[in-house]
Structure formats: structure tokens, C-alpha cells
Structure 1
């Protein structure tokens, strides 16, 4: 199955462009995991152990740490979903974390200011970091999903 969605046409403002691309990547990544078959969704696709469900679990933690200030003590562990987690559970957790992160971002008017309640990084840096991180792992997810069931596209 192949489906492709082109990058967003966002407004002219910097915040609109950054948030538009981040939203696009978030949606693309979630779509890669949605409907992926069990148990392959958690099966290591490469020697490093990377798997589709683990990528989404990791990005849930990245969103929470970056925008919500949550602490992560073992980043490597975030690349693996809990044994009892399934696709709907991890997707719901990711989407809830994204919604809460967007709520924080909705209150940020100055991209140069730090995220609320923090001394750094700037909102601009945080958005750029999440675009880079989500884009990187969305590319991994593209390859893994195609290996699982032939599904391609964004």
C-alpha cells in the first residue's frame, strides 16, 4: 500500500511554519505505527534493536521531556514499549502527550523565550529539536514499516 501526503503549506510566520512541520511529522509517524501488525510492530528490524512501537514510545518521552519538563532517566529504555503495551495504547499515549505539548506551545508567544517554567531552551530551539528528532525517527519508521508489510508513503 502506498500513500503520500505532501508537506504542509503553512502561514508566513515562523511559529506557524515550525509548528506546521512538526504537526506534519507527528501525524506521519503515528500513521506508520497505526495498523502495524503484532508482534512485528515490536520486533527488532535492525541489529540495534529498533522497532516500530519502540520508536513511537521513544518520541512520546522526547515530547514529554522537551515540552512538559518530564525527566527521563534511561533514554535507551524508551526505545522499547512495555510488554503489555499494544499499538492502540502507545498511539493514545503519544497523541495525549502531543496534545499536552501543543497546549504548552499555544501559550508561547515569543519563540526566543524559554519554555514556560524553565530557564532554557528557547521555544524556537525546542520546536527545531522536535522537528529534527521526529523527522529522523519518521524516516526509520518508513523503512521498518515497509519491511513489515510493504506499506509506504507519508
Structure 2
């Protein structure tokens, strides 16, 4: 663990341990950036952007479920995603987060992360990093678990940069 209680990725791990180590570090960074904030803090914006930390939590909860449950396993998206009219609002998770209780946003994100961890462990054990997703992408290709993990690291790293700016605007907290 580093000084902010985030798990350090292994320096000499195998491929799976390294990928999972970096994903867990990025997940812990988002949790750290959102920790201790009330609804006002989670709904703060920076500049012209409408992005909020609460929106990030809900978006990343959706992304976890979309890639691991929907794509990798091929199952229907769990609640609350299953009941959303995505045609009416493609960015529903971002827009609806402002009305959600902060503890509910954190719970939703943590539940999605926990579910993704269980799925990843099971698929790794049964089929390895090369396991193809059950549900193909729009172009017919099926990403491997390895690709999904790399994509999730990228997704968190990009949004954690946003989280840095948003958190600093709320209370001045800075850090990696």
C-alpha cells in the first residue's frame, strides 16, 4: 500500500497480477478522490464541463457492469442499467447522478467493482486472460479478458485525471 492506502501494483508479477494490480490501483485512486465528500462536493464542476465526481462514480459503475457482466459474460445488465431508456439519454448515468445520495453512489460503484472482481477471478481461473467475451462488439469482434482489463485501466486513468481537477476545486485536496 502507498501512503494513500492504495494497493501498489507488483513490480515482478505475472501478466494477470500486473494487469489486476494496475486496475486495483486506479480503482483505489477514484475511491480516494471521492472519499468524504457530501452531495455538494460530488456535484461540483470545473470550468465549462458538467462532469462531476458523482457522475464519475456512476459512470464507472456502469462501465464495470457493461464490460464484465454484459460483454464478458454475455448477461443482461443488472439494475439500475436494465431499466434505463438509453435512446432517450445516452449519458443517463452522468445526468442522473446529481439526484443520487452520495452513499448510494458509492454503494453502486462498489457493488459493480465487487461484481467485476468476482467475474474476473472466475474467468481467469476457468479460461485465462485470453478468454473471449461472450457478447461481440458492434463490429462482431470479441475482446479477450486481457483487452478488457487494459481498457478498464485506461478508462480509470483517464477519468482519475478528471477526478484530480474536480477534487481540487472542491476542497483543495491534491495528489497523484
8 A Cα contact 1:55 1:137, kept in partner = yes
Q: What RMSD, in angstroms, separates the aligned Cα atoms of the two structures?
A: 2.2
**Structure 1 regions of 5+ residues with no counterpart?**
none
Name the CA shift for 1:75/1:4 in 2 (closer, same or farther; >3 Å).
Answer: farther
| Alpha-carbon separation, structure 2, partners of 1:41 and 1:99 | 22
Deviations 1:67-123 (CA, angstroms, capped at 9, x unpaired): 0102773442222344541221111111111010111000123211213x4352210
Deviation at 1:43, TM superposition (A): 2.9
Q: Which blocks of at least 5 consecutive residues in structure 2 are unaligned?
A: 71-76, 137-141
CA distance in 1 between counterparts of 2:13 and 2:42 reads: 38
TM-score normalised according to structure 1 size: 0.86
2:153 corresponds, among 113, 127, 131, to 131
Q: 1:99 to 1:34 in 2, by over 3 A?
A: same
Greater Rg over alpha carbons, structure: 2
- Decide which of 102, 105, 108 is 2:123's aligned counterpart: 108
Q: Give structure 1 regions of 4+ aligned residues with deviation exceeding 6 angstroms.
A: none
Higher RCO, 1 vs 2 (CA within 8 Å, ≥6 residues apart): 1
TM superposition shift of 1:7: 6.8
Distance 1:6 1:61, change over 3 A: closer
TM-score by length of 2: 0.76
Which region of structure 1 is more displaced relative to structure 2, 7-16 or 134-143? Answer: 7-16
Counterpart in the other structure of 1:47: 48
1:86 has 2:101 as partner: yes
Task: Confirm or deny that 1:118 pairs with 2:119.
Answer: no
SS at match of 1:114: coil
